[in-house]
Amino acid sequence: MTHIAKIMLLGSGELGREFVISAKRLGAYVVACDSYAHAPAMQVADESDVFSMLDGDALRDAVARHDPDFIVPEIEAIRTEILAEVEAEGRVVVPSARATQMTMNRDAIRDLAANDLGVRTSRYRYAENFEQVRAGAEAVGLPLVIKPVMSSSGKGQSTVRDADELEAAWDYAVANMRGDRKRVIVEQFIDFEYEITLLTVRTRDGVIFCPPIGHRQERGDYQESWQPAPMDPAHLAEAQAMARKVVDDLGGYGLFGVEFFVAKDGVIFSELSPRPHDTGMVTLISQHLSEFDLHARAILGLPIPETEMSAPAAASAVVLADRDSDSFHYAGLAKALAGEPDASDARIDVRIFGKPVTRPYRRMGVALATGQT
- Active-site residue numbers? 152, 154, 259, 271, 278-279, 363
Helix axes 80-88, 56-66, angle to 10 degrees: 40
End-to-end CA distance of the chain: 47
Residues whose CB falls within 8 Å of the CB of residue 151, separated by 6 or more in sequence, listed in order: 76, 157, 173, 176, 177, 178
Burial of 345 (0-12, 13-18, 19+ CB in 10 A): exposed
Neighbours of 147 (CB within 10 A): 24
Pairwise CA distance, residues 60 & 235, whole Å: 43
Nearest to 271 by CA among 109, 116, 118: 109
Q: Where are the beta strands (DSSP E) in 90-143?
A: 92-93, 124-127
Pairwise CA distance, residues 30 & 28, whole Å: 6
Would you mind telling me the total number of residues written for the chain in this entry? 373
Q: Can you tell me whether residue 197 is helix, strand or coil?
A: strand
Residues whose CB falls within 8 Å of the CB of residue 26, separated by 6 or more in sequence, listed in order: 4, 296, 297, 300, 302
Burial of 70 (0-12, 13-18, 19+ CB in 10 A): buried
Pairwise CA distance, residues 11 & 151, whole Å: 14
Q: Where are the beta strands (DSSP E) in the chain?
A: 6-10, 29-34, 47-50, 70-73, 92-93, 124-127, 144-148, 158-160, 184-188, 194-203, 206-209, 213-218, 221-227, 254-263, 266-273, 313-320, 348-352, 363-371
- Torsional class of 110: left (φ above 0), alpha (ψ -120 to 50), beta (otherwise): alpha
Strand 194-203 relative to strand 92-93: parallel, antiparallel, unpaired?
unpaired
